[in-house]
Amino acid sequence: MNDHEMPEPVITADPPGVIIETVTPQIDCGRHPVKRVVGDTFDVSAIVYKEGHDTLAARLLVRAPDSSQWTQHRMSYDVNFDRCETSFVLDRIGRWSYTVEAWPDYFATWRSELRKKLAAGLDVSSELLEGALLLRDASVRAAEADRLKLDVVADLLADESIYPAQRASVALDGELERAMSRSEPAAIVRYHRALSVYVDRERARFGAWYEMFPRSQGAAPGEHGTFKTAELQLPRLAALGFDVVYLPPIHPIGSTHRKGPNNRLAAKPGDPGSPWAIGSEHGGHTAVEPRLGTLRDFEHFVETARGLGLEVALDYALQCSPDHPWVAEHPEWFHIRPDGSIKYAENPPKKYEDIYPLNYWSENRQALWQASKEVFDFWIERGVRIFRVDNPHTKPFAFWEWIITALQDEHPDVIFLSEAFTRPARMKALAKLGFTQSYTYFTWRNTVLELRGYMIELTQTEAAEYFRPNLFTNTPDILNEFLQTGGRPAFRIRLLLAATLSPSYGIYSGFELCENVPREPGSEEYLDSEKYEIKNRDWDAPDNINADIRSINRIRRENRALQSLTNLSFHYSENDQILFYRKSAPGNELLIVVNMDPHQQQESTIHVPIAELGIGSDQTYEVEDLLTGERYTWRGSPNYVRLSPVERVGHILRLVELETGDRE
């Protein structure tokens, strides 16, 4: 076994001996980019030091996407912590690079010592000669406009016929200092690597999603919906305030081993099958199911959505029905059994005979990986820029890094949502390797303690640098027990939480109607799941929560504090059935209070973080409930709230501008 290579040296035995460490932000030693959205101010800091007492200086180098130029930003330097920092605005999308350079500012050191010696009345003749040497050295690298000045002053400093005090006053001149700081330092140290930040468009961070099966949107009950009939739902979704309409797979569905209602093994004629059993004689991942219409119809659907301010997200599910064209064309892309047959999916003892998993490590994987990329290319060409990726943790991590990087290099505006409900390390790995957003454990976090701990992990730890949660309240696979048993208040509570704890959230059709019947007790599957049959719904059925959705989505758009992830903090509520948190943006302070109990009224004294809000302990202030328009006058930190599941499950309280000064 050979030894490993040693790391790049961060210090060398050559001058100037400056060390640059801990450039922040940085993920896994710079292995992965951090994430931001366009318009963000990006803060970078570093620890910079050197032996001895020299004054140090540092600058940030930044390379914008598709640029070969590095631009420089001078960093400020806090000597007590050996820490330098600066910030700049990320003004376009794509992959940016940054690194830090530092050097000793010998002229600044010299000026500082000269001042001290002058103040102590010491002889500075030798120092003035040293200063002349520094100026002559800088002059060599200075721009022409400065060169003459530096040479003239150098001669003057070295001119022993002039009184030292006179020469010193020239040396301490501000214009000279500026000329010196313009000249490039003689020796610079660069941080041992360039780091990167991936900048997305705003929708990567902020958006309200709606999952809809187009086939359920038929013109009449029982009829198979089409893109044309589904289009009729778009105005409704736009009016509810959604930003993204996500469609489960729209591709031809296989007939071999097709599943019947409630996942029954045998489908009856006319059963539509699961959209995730992709591929039939009508085509595979680049075709549309004929019963939904044509590719043209789909494109029209996308355009209509765009006209309403809605963006369409497609499902990207890398698996095939036995009838998928790839099965005949490329059997070597699948797992082959010893008898030569292709393996269906299974989770022993369960079998999924309607689905063949692809083998991303097969000998011929290069062609399969390329074909998988071409599926993305196909839909990107047809105007799709958001993909919800099904079960990415069952395909190689290397595959995702390769494909996302390649796609974003060509189309930096593409958004990838990872649907990996797996162990934390793997969910985080997918985010580090490129996924723009991720599903989360949100549906299974239903108490104050669970939710607070989880949201702190997602928003206040290093994970927030790369993992963007998209809090879905439900999915076709997940009808959580809290929703099954909590009735309509449970739906209102979970909507309020999802939409205010994270800038990205989503609901799946039927949530607005409080659908909550499981296939059987203890199951998180829906009874008569839409995955296997067409579901007709009356969108205005009694007890719908459309009004909540409209109102919350409007509030999200109107309040910047709800459009960021990391601006969340939790505060003390004396009743642990009531969750109290703050979302904070410049000029937009929200205090959110949610009754986590769908069954009973709860009251609490909550402790408003008045110090952080700049409110005195005896000061009164006004808060406005954005859900109802009601205003309350509060005083100091402890204030009383009462929330009933019937009337209101929570407050979104905006701090009304504090009055300053006296009125006469």
Do 641 and 607 form a contact (C-beta atoms < 8 A)?
no
Residue 151 and residue 146: Cα distance in Å, rounded?
9
By CB under 8 A, tell whether 345 contacts a copy of itself. no
Residue 344 and residue 163: Cα distance in Å, rounded?
94
Which span sits near a copy of itself by CB under 8 A: 45-53, 86-94, 227-235, 477-485? Answer: 45-53
Site size toward a copy of itself (CB under 8 A) is 74
Do 256 and 266 form a contact (C-beta atoms < 8 A)?
no
Judged by CB under 8 A, which of 49, 378, 441, 632 binds a copy of itself?
49
Which span sits near a copy of itself by CB under 8 A: 188-196, 464-472, 526-534, 601-609? Answer: 188-196
- How far apart are CB 209 and a copy of itself at their closest, in Å? 25
For residue 390, indicate whether it is catalytic: yes
By CB under 8 A, tell whether 116 contacts a copy of itself. yes
Which pairs with CB-CB distance under 8 Å and at least 24 residues apart come from 138-147?
A: 138/107, 138/180, 138/183, 138/186, 139/183, 141/183, 141/184, 141/186, 142/179, 142/182, 142/183, 143/182, 143/183, 146/179, 146/182, 146/183
Which span sits near a copy of itself by CB under 8 A: 16-24, 443-451, 470-478, 633-641? Answer: 16-24
Residue 202 or 462 with smaller CB distance to a copy of itself: 462
Do you find a cis peptide bond into 25, omega within 30 degrees of 0? yes
Which span sits near a copy of itself by CB under 8 A: 2-10, 220-228, 316-324, 443-451? Answer: 2-10
Residue 71 or 617 with smaller CB distance to a copy of itself: 71
By CB under 8 A, tell whether 123 contacts a copy of itself. no
Residue 648 and residue 639: Cα distance in Å, rounded?
18
Residue 658 and residue 664: Cα distance in Å, rounded?
17
Mind giving me the DSSP string for 182-233?
Answer: HSPPSS-EE-SS-EEEEEE-GGGTSEEEEE--GGG--SSTTPPP-HHHHHTT
Residue 510 and residue 2: Cα distance in Å, rounded?
60
By CB under 8 A, tell whether 4 contacts a copy of itself. yes
> Of the residues 54, 271, 419, 465, which is catalytic?
419
- How far apart are CB 595 and a copy of itself at their closest, in Å? 32
By CB under 8 A, tell whether 52 contacts a copy of itself. yes
By CB under 8 A, tell whether 444 contacts a copy of itself. no
Question: What string of H, E and C letters represents the secondary structure of 294-337?
Answer: CHHHHHHHHHHHHHCCCEEEEEECCEECCCCHHHHHCHHHECEC
Judged by CB under 8 A, which of 369, 435, 491, 570 binds a copy of itself?
369
Joined tokens for residue 516: 């909550």
Judged by CB under 8 A, which of 24, 30, 290, 477 binds a copy of itself?
30
Contact letters for a copy of itself, residues 193-232 (x by CB under 8 A): xx--------------------------------------
Backbone angles phi and psi of 648, in degrees to 5: -145, 135
The DSSP element (H or E) to which 352 belongs, if any, is: strand 350-352
By CB under 8 A, tell whether 481 contacts a copy of itself. no
- How far apart are CB 332 and a copy of itself at their closest, in Å? 15
Binding to a copy of itself in span 392-421, by CB under 8 A? 393-399, 401-402
By CB under 8 A, tell whether 28 contacts a copy of itself. yes
Residue 263 or 569 with smaller CB distance to a copy of itself: 263
- How far apart are CB 519 and a copy of itself at their closest, in Å? 21
Judged by CB under 8 A, which of 3, 144, 538, 618 binds a copy of itself?
3
Judged by CB under 8 A, which of 85, 87, 88, 133 binds a copy of itself?
133
- How far apart are CB 475 and a copy of itself at their closest, in Å? 21
By CB under 8 A, tell whether 15 contacts a copy of itself. yes
Which residue shows structure tokens 């490590």? 361
By CB under 8 A, tell whether 7 contacts a copy of itself. yes
By CB under 8 A, tell whether 662 contacts a copy of itself. no
Judged by CB under 8 A, which of 264, 296, 337, 599 binds a copy of itself?
337
Which of helix, strand or coil describes residue 536?
Answer: coil
Do 439 and 467 form a contact (C-beta atoms < 8 A)?
no
Residue 262 and residue 274: Cα distance in Å, rounded?
10
Residue 377 burial by Cβ neighbours in a 10 Å radius (0-12, 13-18, 19+): middle
For residue 101, indicate whether it is catalytic: no
Do 387 and 314 form a contact (C-beta atoms < 8 A)?
yes
Residue 389 or 514 with smaller CB distance to a copy of itself: 389
By CB under 8 A, tell whether 165 contacts a copy of itself. no
Q: Which residues are catalytic?
A: 390, 419
